[in-house]
Amino acid sequence: MSTSSQSYPMSGGEDLHSYIHNSSYQKAAIDSLQEKRRLYILEKIDLLSLKTGLSTFTIADFGCSVGPNTFHAFLVCFNDQPNNDFNTLFRTQPPSSEREYFSVGVPGSFYGRVLPRNSIHVGHTSYTIHWLSKVPEHVCEKKSPAWNKKYIQCNNLIEEAAKAYKIQFTKDMSTFLEARAAEIVPGGLMILQGQCLPDGVLMSETWEGIVIDTIGDCLMDMEKSELISEEKLESFSVPIYFPQFSELKGEIEQNGSFAIELMQTISHPFQDMHLTNDFTTSTFRAIFSSVIEKHLLSFLADLRFFCLQIFQIFI
Protein backbone atom coordinates (compact mmCIF):
# COMPACT_ATOMS: atom_id res chain seq x y z
CA MET A 1 0.00 0.00 0.00
CA SER A 2 2.63 2.49 -1.05
CA THR A 3 1.54 6.00 -1.90
CA SER A 4 4.84 7.75 -1.36
CA SER A 5 5.33 10.74 -3.59
CA GLN A 6 6.44 14.32 -3.37
CA SER A 7 3.61 16.60 -2.46
CA TYR A 8 2.98 20.21 -3.37
CA PRO A 9 -0.44 21.18 -2.08
CA MET A 10 -2.35 24.13 -3.51
CA SER A 11 -2.30 27.14 -1.17
CA GLY A 12 -4.58 26.39 1.79
CA GLY A 13 -6.75 28.60 3.98
CA GLU A 14 -9.19 31.18 2.75
CA ASP A 15 -7.06 34.30 2.45
CA LEU A 16 -6.39 36.53 -0.55
CA HIS A 17 -3.82 34.15 -2.05
CA SER A 18 -5.55 30.86 -1.24
CA TYR A 19 -6.36 28.31 -3.95
CA ILE A 20 -10.01 28.42 -2.90
CA HIS A 21 -10.16 32.07 -4.05
CA ASN A 22 -7.78 31.67 -6.99
CA SER A 23 -9.01 28.65 -8.90
CA SER A 24 -11.80 30.12 -11.01
CA TYR A 25 -9.91 29.17 -14.19
CA GLN A 26 -9.98 25.49 -13.22
CA LYS A 27 -13.55 25.80 -11.90
CA ALA A 28 -14.82 27.28 -15.17
CA ALA A 29 -13.52 24.24 -17.07
CA ILE A 30 -15.08 21.85 -14.57
CA ASP A 31 -18.40 23.71 -14.63
CA SER A 32 -18.56 23.71 -18.40
CA LEU A 33 -18.84 19.93 -18.36
CA GLN A 34 -21.27 19.71 -15.47
CA GLU A 35 -24.35 18.56 -17.39
CA LYS A 36 -22.49 16.05 -19.55
CA ARG A 37 -20.77 14.61 -16.48
CA ARG A 38 -24.04 14.40 -14.57
CA LEU A 39 -25.74 12.45 -17.36
CA TYR A 40 -22.79 10.08 -17.70
CA ILE A 41 -22.73 9.39 -13.98
CA LEU A 42 -26.48 8.84 -13.77
CA GLU A 43 -26.46 6.48 -16.74
CA LYS A 44 -23.61 4.45 -15.25
CA ILE A 45 -25.25 4.34 -11.85
CA ASP A 46 -28.54 3.20 -13.36
CA LEU A 47 -26.71 0.31 -14.98
CA LEU A 48 -24.86 -0.60 -11.80
CA SER A 49 -28.03 -0.31 -9.79
CA LEU A 50 -29.84 -2.74 -12.08
CA LYS A 51 -26.92 -5.15 -11.90
CA THR A 52 -26.15 -5.02 -8.19
CA GLY A 53 -29.27 -3.70 -6.44
CA LEU A 54 -27.09 -1.31 -4.42
CA SER A 55 -28.71 1.86 -3.14
CA THR A 56 -25.69 3.81 -1.92
CA PHE A 57 -23.16 4.91 -4.48
CA THR A 58 -19.68 6.11 -3.78
CA ILE A 59 -17.96 8.78 -5.79
CA ALA A 60 -14.31 9.66 -5.26
CA ASP A 61 -12.69 12.92 -6.32
CA PHE A 62 -8.97 12.24 -6.65
CA GLY A 63 -6.80 15.28 -6.02
CA CYS A 64 -9.72 17.31 -4.69
CA SER A 65 -7.53 20.12 -3.28
CA VAL A 66 -9.59 22.78 -1.50
CA GLY A 67 -13.03 23.91 -2.62
CA PRO A 68 -13.96 21.34 -5.26
CA ASN A 69 -17.22 20.97 -7.09
CA THR A 70 -19.62 18.81 -5.15
CA PHE A 71 -21.96 16.04 -6.18
CA HIS A 72 -25.36 15.10 -4.83
CA ALA A 73 -27.05 12.04 -3.26
CA PHE A 74 -23.99 9.90 -2.66
CA LEU A 75 -21.08 9.16 -0.43
CA VAL A 76 -18.41 11.45 -1.80
CA CYS A 77 -14.75 10.73 -1.04
CA PHE A 78 -12.48 13.77 -1.36
CA ASN A 79 -8.93 12.58 -1.86
CA ASP A 80 -5.72 14.57 -1.74
CA GLN A 81 -2.25 14.42 -0.23
CA PRO A 82 -2.11 14.25 3.60
CA ASN A 83 -0.76 17.81 3.69
CA ASN A 84 -3.67 19.21 1.68
CA ASP A 85 -5.73 21.72 3.70
CA PHE A 86 -8.62 19.38 4.58
CA ASN A 87 -9.66 21.65 7.46
CA THR A 88 -10.65 24.38 5.02
CA LEU A 89 -12.28 21.86 2.69
CA PHE A 90 -14.46 20.51 5.53
CA ARG A 91 -15.26 23.94 6.98
CA THR A 92 -16.36 25.34 3.63
CA GLN A 93 -18.67 22.45 2.70
CA PRO A 94 -22.39 23.16 2.92
CA PRO A 95 -23.78 22.16 6.35
CA SER A 96 -24.92 18.54 6.41
CA SER A 97 -28.53 19.67 6.83
CA GLU A 98 -28.35 21.35 3.41
CA ARG A 99 -26.82 18.55 1.40
CA GLU A 100 -27.96 15.11 0.40
CA TYR A 101 -24.67 13.34 0.40
CA PHE A 102 -22.23 12.09 3.00
CA SER A 103 -18.71 13.29 2.67
CA VAL A 104 -15.34 11.92 3.73
CA GLY A 105 -11.77 13.10 3.28
CA VAL A 106 -9.23 10.57 2.04
CA PRO A 107 -5.62 11.52 2.77
CA GLY A 108 -3.01 10.00 0.44
CA SER A 109 -1.32 10.44 -2.92
CA PHE A 110 -3.48 9.21 -5.80
CA TYR A 111 -0.30 7.73 -7.22
CA GLY A 112 -1.04 4.69 -5.11
CA ARG A 113 -4.04 3.00 -3.51
CA VAL A 114 -6.03 5.22 -1.17
CA LEU A 115 -9.29 3.24 -0.88
CA PRO A 116 -10.27 -0.44 -0.60
CA ARG A 117 -10.72 -2.70 -3.62
CA ASN A 118 -14.09 -2.28 -5.39
CA SER A 119 -15.21 0.48 -3.06
CA ILE A 120 -15.87 3.24 -5.61
CA HIS A 121 -18.57 3.40 -8.28
CA VAL A 122 -17.49 6.61 -9.94
CA GLY A 123 -13.99 8.06 -9.85
CA HIS A 124 -13.38 11.65 -10.86
CA THR A 125 -10.27 13.73 -11.22
CA SER A 126 -9.88 17.21 -12.56
CA TYR A 127 -6.76 19.27 -13.32
CA THR A 128 -4.54 16.86 -11.42
CA ILE A 129 -2.64 14.32 -13.49
CA HIS A 130 -0.29 16.91 -15.00
CA TRP A 131 1.23 16.95 -11.49
CA LEU A 132 3.81 14.16 -11.59
CA SER A 133 4.47 12.17 -8.42
CA LYS A 134 7.93 13.75 -8.31
CA VAL A 135 10.44 15.73 -10.34
CA PRO A 136 11.79 13.19 -12.86
CA GLU A 137 15.05 11.51 -11.90
CA HIS A 138 18.27 13.19 -13.03
CA VAL A 139 16.52 16.34 -14.27
CA CYS A 140 18.02 18.27 -11.36
CA GLU A 141 21.42 16.56 -11.39
CA LYS A 142 24.10 18.67 -12.97
CA LYS A 143 26.14 15.66 -14.08
CA SER A 144 23.26 13.87 -15.81
CA PRO A 145 22.59 14.19 -19.56
CA ALA A 146 18.96 14.72 -18.49
CA TRP A 147 19.91 17.82 -16.48
CA ASN A 148 17.43 20.59 -17.18
CA LYS A 149 20.03 23.37 -16.69
CA LYS A 150 18.43 26.54 -15.43
CA TYR A 151 15.05 25.79 -16.98
CA ILE A 152 12.26 24.98 -14.55
CA GLN A 153 9.89 22.96 -16.75
CA CYS A 154 9.89 20.49 -19.61
CA ASN A 155 10.30 23.01 -22.43
CA ASN A 156 11.75 20.51 -24.93
CA LEU A 157 15.03 22.41 -25.32
CA ILE A 158 16.98 19.53 -23.75
CA GLU A 159 16.03 16.24 -25.36
CA GLU A 160 17.14 13.99 -22.49
CA ALA A 161 15.27 16.08 -19.93
CA ALA A 162 12.12 15.89 -22.04
CA LYS A 163 12.56 12.11 -22.21
CA ALA A 164 12.92 11.91 -18.42
CA TYR A 165 9.69 13.87 -18.01
CA LYS A 166 7.89 11.59 -20.45
CA ILE A 167 9.18 8.46 -18.69
CA GLN A 168 7.98 9.79 -15.33
CA PHE A 169 4.57 10.62 -16.78
CA THR A 170 4.25 7.10 -18.22
CA LYS A 171 5.17 5.52 -14.86
CA ASP A 172 2.81 7.77 -12.91
CA MET A 173 -0.10 7.33 -15.30
CA SER A 174 0.29 3.57 -15.10
CA THR A 175 0.33 3.69 -11.28
CA PHE A 176 -2.70 5.99 -11.26
CA LEU A 177 -4.72 3.76 -13.60
CA GLU A 178 -3.82 0.54 -11.77
CA ALA A 179 -4.78 2.01 -8.39
CA ARG A 180 -8.10 3.31 -9.75
CA ALA A 181 -8.81 0.01 -11.53
CA ALA A 182 -8.51 -1.76 -8.17
CA GLU A 183 -10.64 0.78 -6.31
CA ILE A 184 -13.43 1.18 -8.86
CA VAL A 185 -16.02 -1.60 -9.14
CA PRO A 186 -16.22 -3.59 -12.37
CA GLY A 187 -18.54 -1.65 -14.66
CA GLY A 188 -17.75 1.59 -12.82
CA LEU A 189 -16.83 4.91 -14.39
CA MET A 190 -13.66 7.00 -14.25
CA ILE A 191 -13.88 10.62 -15.39
CA LEU A 192 -10.55 12.21 -16.18
CA GLN A 193 -10.70 15.92 -16.90
CA GLY A 194 -7.81 18.28 -17.34
CA GLN A 195 -5.43 19.79 -19.79
CA CYS A 196 -3.35 18.06 -22.41
CA LEU A 197 -1.63 19.50 -25.45
CA PRO A 198 -2.95 19.11 -28.99
CA ASP A 199 -0.76 16.63 -30.92
CA GLY A 200 2.38 18.32 -32.19
CA VAL A 201 2.09 21.34 -29.87
CA LEU A 202 4.86 21.91 -27.30
CA MET A 203 4.27 23.21 -23.77
CA SER A 204 6.47 26.21 -24.51
CA GLU A 205 4.04 27.25 -27.25
CA THR A 206 1.04 27.49 -24.94
CA TRP A 207 0.19 30.50 -22.78
CA GLU A 208 0.54 28.45 -19.60
CA GLY A 209 3.95 27.24 -20.76
CA ILE A 210 4.99 30.82 -21.49
CA VAL A 211 3.90 31.93 -18.02
CA ILE A 212 5.94 29.12 -16.39
CA ASP A 213 8.94 29.94 -18.59
CA THR A 214 8.58 33.56 -17.52
CA ILE A 215 8.63 32.55 -13.87
CA GLY A 216 11.81 30.61 -14.81
CA ASP A 217 13.30 33.72 -16.46
CA CYS A 218 12.48 35.64 -13.32
CA LEU A 219 14.37 33.11 -11.21
CA MET A 220 17.35 33.49 -13.56
CA ASP A 221 17.22 37.25 -13.06
CA MET A 222 17.09 36.72 -9.32
CA GLU A 223 20.11 34.47 -9.54
CA LYS A 224 21.98 37.14 -11.54
CA SER A 225 21.05 39.63 -8.83
CA GLU A 226 22.35 37.09 -6.27
CA LEU A 227 19.00 36.83 -4.53
CA ILE A 228 19.13 33.05 -5.00
CA SER A 229 22.18 30.86 -5.55
CA GLU A 230 23.12 29.31 -8.89
CA GLU A 231 23.06 25.90 -7.21
CA LYS A 232 19.47 26.40 -5.97
CA LEU A 233 18.31 27.39 -9.42
CA GLU A 234 20.12 24.59 -11.21
CA SER A 235 18.54 21.98 -8.97
CA PHE A 236 14.99 23.25 -9.35
CA SER A 237 12.35 22.03 -11.80
CA VAL A 238 8.60 21.72 -11.40
CA PRO A 239 7.02 18.24 -11.46
CA ILE A 240 4.54 19.19 -14.16
CA TYR A 241 4.03 17.47 -17.52
CA PHE A 242 1.22 18.08 -19.95
CA PRO A 243 0.98 15.06 -22.28
CA GLN A 244 -0.14 15.46 -25.86
CA PHE A 245 -3.64 14.16 -26.62
CA SER A 246 -2.55 10.94 -28.36
CA GLU A 247 0.12 10.34 -25.72
CA LEU A 248 -2.50 10.31 -22.94
CA LYS A 249 -4.79 8.10 -25.04
CA GLY A 250 -1.88 5.74 -25.69
CA GLU A 251 -1.14 5.38 -21.98
CA ILE A 252 -4.74 4.51 -21.15
CA GLU A 253 -4.89 1.95 -23.97
CA GLN A 254 -1.50 0.51 -23.07
CA ASN A 255 -2.59 0.08 -19.45
CA GLY A 256 -5.74 -1.76 -20.52
CA SER A 257 -7.66 -1.48 -17.25
CA PHE A 258 -10.19 0.94 -18.68
CA ALA A 259 -12.05 1.12 -21.99
CA ILE A 260 -12.28 4.67 -23.34
CA GLU A 261 -15.96 5.45 -23.83
CA LEU A 262 -15.48 9.08 -24.76
CA MET A 263 -12.42 11.24 -25.19
CA GLN A 264 -12.83 14.70 -26.55
CA THR A 265 -11.33 18.15 -26.59
CA ILE A 266 -13.38 20.99 -25.18
CA SER A 267 -12.74 24.71 -25.36
CA HIS A 268 -12.00 26.44 -22.09
CA PRO A 269 -14.77 28.96 -21.32
CA PHE A 270 -12.11 31.66 -20.74
CA GLN A 271 -10.33 30.87 -24.02
CA ASP A 272 -11.26 34.08 -25.79
CA MET A 273 -11.22 36.29 -22.71
CA HIS A 274 -8.47 38.71 -21.81
CA LEU A 275 -6.97 37.41 -18.56
CA THR A 276 -5.66 40.32 -16.49
CA ASN A 277 -2.16 40.39 -15.02
CA ASP A 278 -3.60 40.18 -11.53
CA PHE A 279 -5.74 37.16 -12.42
CA THR A 280 -2.82 35.29 -13.99
CA THR A 281 -0.47 36.16 -11.14
CA SER A 282 -2.93 35.08 -8.46
CA THR A 283 -3.82 31.83 -10.23
CA PHE A 284 -0.19 30.77 -10.67
CA ARG A 285 0.73 31.91 -7.17
CA ALA A 286 -1.95 29.65 -5.63
CA ILE A 287 -0.62 26.74 -7.71
CA PHE A 288 3.14 27.25 -7.43
CA SER A 289 3.84 28.94 -4.11
CA SER A 290 4.07 25.60 -2.26
CA VAL A 291 6.48 23.96 -4.72
CA ILE A 292 8.65 27.07 -4.89
CA GLU A 293 8.55 27.56 -1.13
CA LYS A 294 9.64 23.97 -0.60
CA HIS A 295 12.71 24.43 -2.77
CA LEU A 296 13.61 28.04 -2.34
CA LEU A 297 12.07 28.92 1.03
CA SER A 298 13.36 32.39 1.76
CA PHE A 299 12.56 33.38 -1.77
CA LEU A 300 8.83 33.15 -1.13
CA ALA A 301 8.45 36.52 0.48
CA ASP A 302 9.68 38.17 -2.70
CA LEU A 303 7.54 36.08 -5.02
CA ARG A 304 4.49 38.26 -5.35
CA PHE A 305 6.57 41.33 -5.88
CA PHE A 306 8.60 39.63 -8.58
CA CYS A 307 5.61 38.03 -10.26
CA LEU A 308 3.87 41.36 -10.50
CA GLN A 309 6.99 42.93 -11.84
CA ILE A 310 7.38 40.22 -14.45
CA PHE A 311 3.86 40.38 -15.66
CA GLN A 312 4.06 44.10 -16.01
CA ILE A 313 7.00 43.67 -18.32
CA PHE A 314 5.66 40.58 -19.99
CA ILE A 315 2.06 41.33 -20.90
Residues at the interface with a copy of itself (CB under 8 A)? 1-4, 55-56, 75, 77, 82-83, 85-87, 90-91, 93, 95-97, 99-100, 102-109, 112-119
Shortest distance, CB of residue 125 to a copy of itself, whole angstroms?
17
Sign of CA dihedral 23, 201, 212, 312: negative
CB closer to a copy of itself out of 113 and 124: 113
Give 14 or 213: the residue with its C-beta nearer to a copy of itself: 14
Q: What contacts 170, CB < 8 A, 6 or more positions away?
A: 251
Q: Which is nearer to a copy of itself, 13 or 250 (by Cβ)?
A: 13
Taking the C-alpha atoms of residue 313 and residue 184, their distance in angstroms, rounded to an integer, is 48
- Residue 189 CB partners (closer than 8 Å, separation 6+): 40, 41, 44, 121, 122, 123
CA distance 168 to 42: 35
Cα-atom radius of gyration of the chain, to the nearest Å?
20
132 vs 179 by CB, closer to a copy of itself: 179
Q: Closest distance between a copy of itself and the C-beta of residue 101, in Å?
A: 8
| Beta carbon of residue 102, minimum distance to a copy of itself (angstroms, whole number) | 6
Element holding 290 (H helix, E strand): helix 277-296
Is-contact 158 147, C-beta < 8 A? yes
Q: How far is the CB of 140 from a copy of itself (least distance, A)?
A: 23
To the nearest whole angstrom, how small is the minimum distance from the Cβ of residue 311 to a copy of itself? 32
End-to-end CA distance of the chain: 46
Choose between 178 and 234: whose C-beta lies nearer to a copy of itself.
Answer: 178
CB of 289 to a copy of itself, least distance (A): 17
Compare residues 171 and 232 and give the one whose CB is closer to a copy of itself.
Answer: 171
